[in-house]
Structure formats: structure tokens, C-alpha cells
Structure 1
Amino acid sequence: MSDDSTVLARYLDELGWSPRQLASRINAIFGAGTVSATAAYYWRRAGNAPRAPLPAMIAIVFSQSLGRTITVEELWNGQAVDSPHIVPAAPDMDVPWTLSGTVQLVEDWVQGGLMDRRTFVAASGAALTAAAHAYLELPRLTAALRGDTVSGTLISQIEATLPELRDVDHRRGGLHAKTYVHGQWLTIGALVRDGHHQNAISKRLLSALGEMGDLAGYMAFDAGEHGLAQRYWITALRAAQHAENTALAASILSNMSYQAATREHGRDAVELANAATRAARTAPAAVRASVASRLATAHAAAGEVQAFRAARDRAQDTLAEASPAAQPVPDWASFVSRSYLSSQSACALIQLGRTQMSENRRVARALLEEGQTLLAPSMSSTPSGFQRSGVLRTVWLALGYTASGELEEACLAGRVAAQRLSDVESPRCASLLTDLRKALARGRHQNAAVREFIADLDQVLGQT
């Protein structure tokens, strides 16, 4: 037991954490450099409270790790200032999964408006995956809404904007239209909140809310706002449930899985992708194939080679069975193709190869080579209308070459990606290029190509 008698010290002991581990967790959630590695030693002593907004951040870290609510008041007994604008992404799970509960969450969005100043903290573990379990375990909505305040013409206009907005996201990246999409989300949310629609209109409206939330969440994810993305997705998942739109629910859960995989939370990613698989059981083949592809990426993030290969093969086999005439493909899944699935598995192969380097270099090199072969065509062409994907694929190719020690090829692929970066507004792409810079700079400054490329890349990243 620590000699310190503060509440913070007791919670550190309960978790088995050192002050350095607390600081590391804060930086992992809120960003590198938020606190110094030794700052928590000072907070642990009685009477030493950090300045705002750190007390709220610390309370959130303890709440997530201990599985119960820990407040700033409890930690410092009135000696620290709270920061109410910092809130967890996952809404209070006590809000029931009923239509009134969903409307309650939508009301929170509408009241926040376009200038919502809150910072949403990304969840992980049970706090994140609880939404998936709640969706799967609850029965479908059976009580219909009554009345008709939204016309079929209006809902058709709302539905018609969705494909265009998705196209903008694919071409220009998440930042380009994020504010506009948020405005559309609030507009649909206000219509849902007002209620009193006929059952058919109500379901279409809730599906539109779910689709717009799925898109808004992906844009926020691409913009690096992970907590905000989760908040969109969890609300959208509820809307999909009430609309009885299981295919959309599967899409939302698979996007949540993909986010977790990119954040290197492999077990969360697998759990969410498995939930998406269950939700997609009756969905069109293209949706099931896309979900299987996300499951493969999740297994790659978890370092599970055989499970990755099984899910990857299932994705391709499922798409081969597709019969759009028998089961129409939702517009939001129309991009799913063999080449799309191949590129997704290629990026996952690079991710797997990089993580396997410390365990089995022979296996790692084989994985990297397989991924590089699949991604090599991305150097010369970008899928029409998918400029962001073109950037991401070439960066992953460069990361693969870097891990293999093929530095000149890595720099060449990195230059192609850097040139394409100006075509998109995607912090995710810029962040991945930053990862490439770090990988190349690690002990490789003696290589002339690397030195020259890093200098040029720094200029590009400085402009984003």
C-alpha cells in the first residue's frame, strides 16, 4: 500500500498502477504530451491538485478503468476545478434503449447545436462494447408512432442528400463537409424529437438519422475526433435499432470496430466486429462481405494471423455469392467490390507484418511481401472518386517497405502519398504519414534518400 493517503493514491493502488502508468494512460486517451511522465507523483500527495482541465481528465481515466463513476469532487474534495465540457463519448448506459431514450440522446445533440464546445473522450473496453451488446440483446421496436408531421417528399429529399455527402467524404476527406453533415444530423434529429409520424415515415426518418450519424461518425473519425465519432455512432446505432435496419446497424458496428483497430485496441475491434457479424446475418452479401473484411482487420490489429486469413477469405467468398437482383444492396454499401476487399486486406497484412517482426521475422516478411504486392498498383492509380483511399493505400505501402528495410521504395511510395495529400482534408491521412516519418527516422538518418524525403515530408505536413 502506498504511503500516500489521498483518494487518488488509493485508486492507483486499487488498479495496481504507478503514477507513471496514470500519466501514460492520460496521454494515451487525450494525446501525447498532455502531461509529463512524473506529474502524477505530485498529484498523489495531499493538497496537490492539478490545474483544469486535468482533474476532469483524471476522473474520466479512473472512471473508465475502474468501471464506476469517479468525480473530481471525490478525488480532491473541492480543491480542484472541474471542467464540465470534457465528457465521455459513450452516453450514460442507464438511458434505456427505447425510443424515448434515443430521443433523450438526440435532444442532447440538438441542444448542443452547431457550436457544441464539449470535448468527447473516446471510450474503450466495456464502456465502448456495451453499446454493441445492448443492441444485440434488445428486442426490436414494436410500438409505432402515430400522426404524420413529416411528408414523404421531405424524407425523400433527406434521403437523396446522403449519397452525395458520402461521395464528398470519399473524395475530399472527413474535414471537408463535417460541419455541414453535423447540421443535417441536427435537422433530422429535431424532426425525430418532435415525433408523431406515421410508422412508415418514422422508420425512414430513423434510418436517415442512423445513416447520417454513421457518416458523421466516420467523418469525425477521419478528422481524428475519436470521442465525437463514438458518440455519433452510438446514437446512430439506437436509431438503426428503432428503424429495424439491421444492415445499417452492422455498418455502424463495423465502423466502430475499424476505429478501434486503427487505435490499436485489437480486442475491442474483434468484439465489435463479431457483433457486426451477428447484426448482418440477414443483410445483403455486399454488407456481410464488408463486415467480414472489418473482422479481418480487427484480427490483424489483435495479431491473430490465422483468424485474419479466415475472415479475409470469408469476405471474398461472401461477395462472390452476391445477387443484387434478389437482395438489393444499400446505397451506402455500393462501393464494396473485390478490389476494395483486396486493398483492405492488404493494409491489414502490412499491419500484421509490422507487429509480427518482433515475434517471427520470417512470417512477418511473408506478410509484408503479400501486402506490398497487393498495394503496388496504388502507386500509379487511385480509384475514381476515392482520393482519400489512394493516399491511405500508398502510405501503408510505404510503411510495408520501411518494415522490410526497402528504404528507397518506401520513400518513393511516401512521396506519392505526400503529393496526393493536398487533394484531401483528412487528418487521418496526415497522421499516418507522420507515423511513416517516425518509422523512417528511427535509426535510418544515414540513408540519403530517407534524409531528403523526411525534409520534404516535414514541409508537406507543416502545411496541413
Structure 2
Amino acid sequence: MAKEVRVNERLQQAIRESRMTYDRLALELGIVAGRHGDDARPGKSLISHWVRYSVVPSGDMPSYLAAVLSRRLGRTVTPADLGLAEEVSDLRDWSLDTLSVLADLRRIDVDDVEVDRSTALQLMAYSVGALALPTESWWESMARTGEARGRAGGRRVGEADVEAVRDMTGLFSQVDQRRGGGHARTAVVQYFTSDVARFLKGTFASEGTRRQMFSAAAELAYVAGWMAFDSADHAAAQTYFGQAVRLAAEADDPAMAGHVLRAMAHQALDLGHPKQALDLAAASISGDRYALACPRERALLGVIHARGLAATGRHTAATGALLQAQRDLAAAAPGDDEPARVFFFGEASLAHETASALRDIGDLPGAVKEFRHSVETRKATSFARTHAVTLGYLGAVHVRLKNIEEACAVWSDALDAMEPVRSGRTRQTATHMRTVLSPFRQRGIRSIDRVDSRAAAYLEATA
């Protein structure tokens, strides 16, 4: 009864602000009430009455009410504002339970029921404040929580289930590399929030199996986050990255946690938050996150740390970190017990990130050299998205060096590479091309006009 009273109070306030009568609102909603006695007076439940006599499906009623009042008020009114939708917590809150967050992610990103999506998305807006990492005691607490889950009950989960999750994660990762985050992201989220969620609630054959499953789930959550990041859905990416960190913490897998923190740092760099990026990158190489990583992964963590140092003006330290990343990658050897998640990182990737750091330091000739090395050593068919982004960055550096013709030649190759790719970062590259070339339009320069028109066509095709 108390909740019903609060709902009526909120509705009445919204109606007063819009200067509508109850009858007028009923007409706007297509309700065939209005002549059914006095049931709609303020002392009764307006919701019960309207839903009872409405020609609008009852499940849609909160959205219809909110839409009508939004039109009348000239501002957004959500079902949650009227007390008609369940409030959703900020899913980046480190104090939330891992599996509860997973259930909320399904409701928001898959089911889209019983939750006001607009409210959820507002709560999920990319937050710089949410980049602050939890205390050391949190990591210890999460490891203990994970151990307790293995005794919780549910379907029996074994090593074959872990391998199945890892196989699916590898498949999704390869699609992401070839086609960009715009392909198969819905399938990743569906699999993560359904099949994998059920595994996480199961009874495990051993504590080792539980840890492996939570680690495998962390990697899948990371892939979901990376695909969202690549699709420029940064709020969702941040949320999935946070969930990946939780899962890695419950798995007591420091190297996996470091891998995700590195991705969060990469995202923060791209979004223009260098200080926070450096903090995240420093955390990714702290203690066992670096010590327990294989040499290839150490190089990946280290080069992003170098980029964070470069972006914050610590040029000497950035140079030292770049050299260490090169040494770490050189130490990687066939037969190393490497996790599958580092399959993409090799000489070409190291050169790409090194070039990005040199660009931020101001060493543009050095950046050109490293970007070219990345292009020349990458297997473009398997890593089409990154290949296109590298070419885009190389062209942008040529522009800064006043080499417009050279930039257009490189960008033409970039447009060739991005044709089968659906990625927010390739779209950003195409947008940057058009912005840079806009002063040269209408001058009859064939190479410029061709790149400009092709970039416009790509943006239209991928909108």
C-alpha cells in the first residue's frame, strides 16, 4: 500500500506539472475508461484502474505513461521516475555481488524486461569516477567469496564445461579481430548471460575447476567488453570490463585481472583520460598480475603502461617501459604455456602500441616508422580491424607532418582494409579523414576527393 501511495503521488505531481487532467491522460493513452464511475479519483489506485480498462497491453503501460508525460512536460520522464520500474544499481559498484550483476546485465542487455532501459543506460554512462580501483582487502574478500560459491549447489560443472567456454571465447575473439566489435556482440552477451551464468551457479568437481570456470568467464566478459569498446559503446564496455575483473578476482587469477585492467587503461586513453589510464595500467603490472603473466602478456601490459606514461608527459619513463616491453616479447618462445587470450599480441601489435606512445611523446618520425613496421608484419586477413586502425593512425601522423598526399595513399589502403569491418574505431578513422580533408574539398584534387567520398560511403554503409 505504501508503494502504491508513492506511485500515485508521483503521477499526480507529473500530471499537475503537465496541466493535464486524469481524463485527458486517459484519452492520450487510448484508455476506454473515463465513464466507469469514480474509480479514477485520486484516493484510489490510478494504475490499477488504468491498467484494468486500458487497450494498451499492461506490460507496456509504464512506458506509455512515461512517454505521454514526457511529451507534455518537454523533458524525459521514465517509468522509474513514476515509481513504475525497478531501480537499477550502478553495475560498476565494486561492492555488488558478481552473480547479481550478471543477472542485471542479462535483464538490461538481453531480456530488456522489468527494467526501464533508459534509466539503466543513464546509470551505465561511462564514468571516470568508476575507474577508481577497490582496495587490496577487496581482492582477498573476492577470492574467499569464490571459494564459498563452489559449495553452493546447482548443476555439476566439470573440466569439459570449462573447455567449452574457452572454445567459444576463442571463436568470438577471432571474429572480433577479423570483423570488428559490431559483429556477433549480441551472441557473446547472450552466451555469457545464459549458458555461462548457469555454469557459475553450479557445483564444481573441484576448487581448481571452479577457479578455471570463473577465469574462463572473466575472459568472455572481457571479450564482451572489448567488442562494446570497439563499437564505441563505452558505458557497456566499462561495465563488462568491471564484471571481468570481479570474475577474475573470484577465480584468484591475477594475470587475468591484469589483462582486463590493461584493457580498461586502453579505453581510458582513447577517451582522453590519461591520468586514470596510467593508474589502471600501473595496477595491471602490479605484483602477481605481472609476475604470473607469461612473457607475451607482460609485453602487452608493459606497452600499455608505456602509453600511459607517454600520455601524461613522463617521456623518459615511457621510453624505458617500451624497451622493457620489447625485452618481454623477445623472451616469449614456442612452447610457452600461454593463455589463449594473448593470441593477437605479437610483433605487429607491439609496433602499433609503440608507435602510439611515440606519437604522444611527439616523436612523429619514430611513430611513422613503427606504424609502418606494424603494417608490414601483421597478418592482415586475420587481424583486419587492427590493420585498418593502424593504417588510419599512420595516415593521421602523415597529416601532422604535412604529408597530405602520403596520408591519402595510406588512408586509401585503410579504407580497403576496413570494408568488411564493423567497428566504432574504424568509423572514427573514417570520420577523422573527412574532417582533415574538408578544407581541400572542391579543389579538384583527385586523390583527396576519392578518399573523402570513400570515407563518406563507409560511414553511410555502417551507420
Shorter chain as normaliser: what TM range? 0.7 to 0.9
Q: Over residues 276-322 of structure 1, what are the superposed CA-to-partner deviations in whole Å (9 max), with x where a residue is unaligned?
A: 01122221111111000111222333343323222211111122233
What is the CA–CA distance in structure 2 between the aligned matches of 1:193 and 1:290, rounded to whole Å?
29
Q: Tell me how far apart the structure 1 counterparts of residues 265 and 280 of structure 2 sit (CA, whole Å).
A: 5
1:143 aligns with 2:147: yes
Q: What residue ranges of structure 2 are gaps of 5+ in the alignment? A: 1-72
User: Which runs of 5 or more structure 1 residues have no equivalent in the other structure?
Assistant: 1-48, 57-71, 74-80, 96-100, 354-363
Q: Against the structure 1 CA distance between its residues 152 and 143, is the aligned structure 2 distance closer, same or farther, given a 3 Å change threshold?
A: closer
Seen in structure 2, the aligned counterparts of structure 1 residues 379 and 94 have a Cα distance that, compared at 3 Å, is closer
1:231-310 → structure 2 map (5 Å cutoff): 231-278=239-286, 279-310=289-320
> Which residue in the other structure is 2:348 paired with?
339
- For the residues of structure 2 that align with 1:304 and 1:84, how far apart are their CA atoms? 48
8 Å CA contact 1:170–1:389 kept in 2: the answer is yes
Query: Which amino acid counterpart does residue 457 of structure 2 have in structure 1?
Result: Q
Post-superposition shift, 1:112? Answer: 3.5
Partners of 2:394 and 2:407 within 8 A in 1 = yes
Q: Report the TM-score, using the length of structure 2 for normalisation.
A: 0.72
Give per-residue Cα distances to partners, 1:187-240, cap 9 Å, x unaligned. Answer: 244325533334233212211210100100000000110010111111111111
Q: Which residue identity does 2:190 align to in structure 1?
A: G
The alignment covers a number of residue pairs equal to 375
Q: Equivalent residue for 1:164? A: 171
Whether 1:329 and 2:338 are equivalent positions in the alignment is yes
- Structure 2 contact 230–424 (Cα < 8 Å) conserved: yes
Partner of 2:131: 128
2:212 and 2:352 mapped to 1: Cα distance?
A: 33
Task: Give the CA deviation at 1:393.
Answer: 0.7
Does the aligned pair in 2 maintain the 1:257–1:270 contact within 8 Å?
Answer: yes
The alignment status of 1:216 with 2:224, answered yes or no, reads yes
Quick check: 2:347–2:377 contact (8 Å CA) kept in 1? no
Compared CA separation, residues 290 and 86, structure 1 to 2 (3 A): farther
- Cα contact 1:132–1:253 (8 A) shared by 2: no
Superposed displacement of residue 336, structure 1: 2.4
Cα deviation for residue 379 of structure 1 reads 6.1
Question: Aligned with 2:285: secondary structure?
Answer: helix
- The TM-score with structure 1 as length reference comes to 0.72
Q: Which residue of 2 aligns with 1:69?
A: none
Q: Which amino acid aligns with 1:52?
A: T
Residue 121 of structure 2 is matched in structure 1 by 119
The corresponding residue for 1:92 is 93
**Pairwise CA distance, 1:374:** 2.1
1:3 is aligned to none
Shift of 1:400: 0.3
Q: Give the root-mean-square deviation of aligned CA atoms.
A: 3.1
SS at match of 1:264: coil
Q: 1:89·1:122 contact (CA, 8 Å) conserved in 2?
A: no
Aligned to 1:51: 75
CA distance in 1, matches of 2:430, 2:403: 17
8 Å contact 1:89–1:230 — kept in the other structure? Answer: no
Mark the structure with the bigger radius of gyration: 2
Question: What does 1:380-391 align with in structure 2 at a 5 Å threshold?
Answer: 382-383=378-379, 384-391=381-388
| CA-CA distance at 1:262 after TM superposition | 0.6
The 1:434/1:346 distance shift into structure 2, 3 A limit, reads same
| CA gap 1:378/1:301 in 2 versus in 1, 3 angstroms | same
> Which residue of structure 1 aligns with residue 18 of structure 2?
none
Amino acid across the alignment from 1:423: P
Give 3-state SS (helix, strand or coil) of 2:291's partner: coil
Query: CA 1:381/1:462 → structure 2, altered by over 3 Å: closer, same or farther?
Result: farther
After superposition, the Cα gap between the structure-2 partners of 1:125 and 1:397, relative to the gap in structure 1 and judged at 3 Å, is same
- Opposite residue 314 of structure 1, the aligned amino acid is Q
1:423 to 420, 424, 431: 420
Which amino acid in 1 is paired with 2:398? Y
Q: Percent identity among equivalent residues?
A: 26
Q: Which residue of 2 is the match for residue 153 of structure 1?
A: 160
Cα pair distance change 1:150/1:303, threshold 3 Å: same
Tell whether the 8 Å contact from 2:349 to 2:374 is kept in structure 1 after alignment: no
